[in-house]
Amino acid sequence: YKGYLLFNTDTTLACKMFDEAIQSGFNDPYAYYLRGLCQLYGGQESQALKDFNSAISLKPDFALAFHDRAGLKREKGDVQGALFDYKTATDLNPEFSIAFNNMGSVKIMMGDYQGGIADYTRAIELNPDMFMAYNNRGCARYNMGDYETALEDFNMAALLNGSFSVAKMNKANSLAMKQDYDAALNVLNETINDLTDNALLFVNRGLIRELTGDKPGACSDWQKALDLGYTKAAEYLEECN
C-alpha cells in the first residue's frame, strides 16, 4: 500500500510499484485503477483502458473508474460507450458532480441539448462553484439561440473564475449576438488588458470590430493574433488587403 501513499508525491515511483505489484499477482482494483492513471498520463491510452476495465471487473461499483474510462472512450470517439459509463458513474454516485458535467458534454456531442443542459444544471446544483459547468451550459444555450440565458451563465462562470478567459470571450460573443457591440468590446478590452498574450481574444475583438465597421481596428487585432502565433489569423487578414 506504499504506492497509494506515494501517488500524489512521487507518481513515477508509485506507478512503478503498482506495476510490480500487479505483475506479482496483487489483484486489487485500486492498483489497476491507479496504474491506469499512470498509463493515461504517459500517453498509453490503450493500456490505461485495459487497467480501467480490470478495475471495474474487480469492483463493479467503482464509480471513479467508470468516469475515467468514459473520458477515454470519449477521446476515442465512442460517445455511446462514454455515455453509458458516465451514466453508470452517476447512478453509482448520485453526487458525482464532474460526472454529470462530462455526461452533459457527451449528450451535447450527440445533439441532445436539453439532456446536456439538464446534466449541467445537476452538476451546478451539486457544486455551485463549478465554473466550467456554467460555461458549458451557456455554450449549449448559445448554440440553441438563447443568448440571454447564455449570457447569465457566462457571467457566472467569469465571476467564479476571474481568469477564465473562455467564459469572457463567450460573454462577449453573446453580447454581440444581442447587437450590444459596445458592451462586447468593453468585455474584451478589459480581458485583453489582463491577458495580453491571448491570441484568441484579439481574433474575437477583431471580429466584433468588423461588425461595427471598424475595419482598421479589426485588421490590427488579427495582425496581433498572428504575431502571437495564431496562424489562422492570416485568413482574416486576407480581408485587409
How high is the pLDDT of residue 11?
62
Contact 137, 115 (CB under 8 A): no
- The grid cell for 149 is 440565458
Comparing 4 with 67, the larger pLDDT belongs to: 67
Tell me the average pLDDT across 91-119. Answer: 98
pLDDT tens digits for range 43-65: 889 988 999 999 999 999 999 99
HEC secondary structure over the chain: CHHHHHCCCCHHHHHHHHHHHHHCCCCCHHHHHHHHHHHHHCCCHHHHHHHHHHHHHHCCCCHHHHHHHHHHHHHCCCHHHHHHHHHHHHHHCCCCHHHHHHHHHHHHHCCCHHHHHHHHHHHHHHCCCCHHHHHHHHHHHHHCCCHHHHHHHHHHHHHHCCCCHHHHHHHHHHHHHCCCHHHHHHHHHHHHHHCCCCHHHHHHHHHHHHHCCCHHHHHHHHHHHHHCCCCCHHHHHHHHC
How high is the pLDDT of residue 5?
39
The pLDDT of residue 1 is above 60: no
pLDDT more than 90, % of the chain? 77
The pLDDT of residue 178 is above 70: yes
Residue linked to cell 467569469 = 158
In 3D space, the residue among 209, 11, 79 whose CA is nearest the CA of residue 19 turns out to be: 11
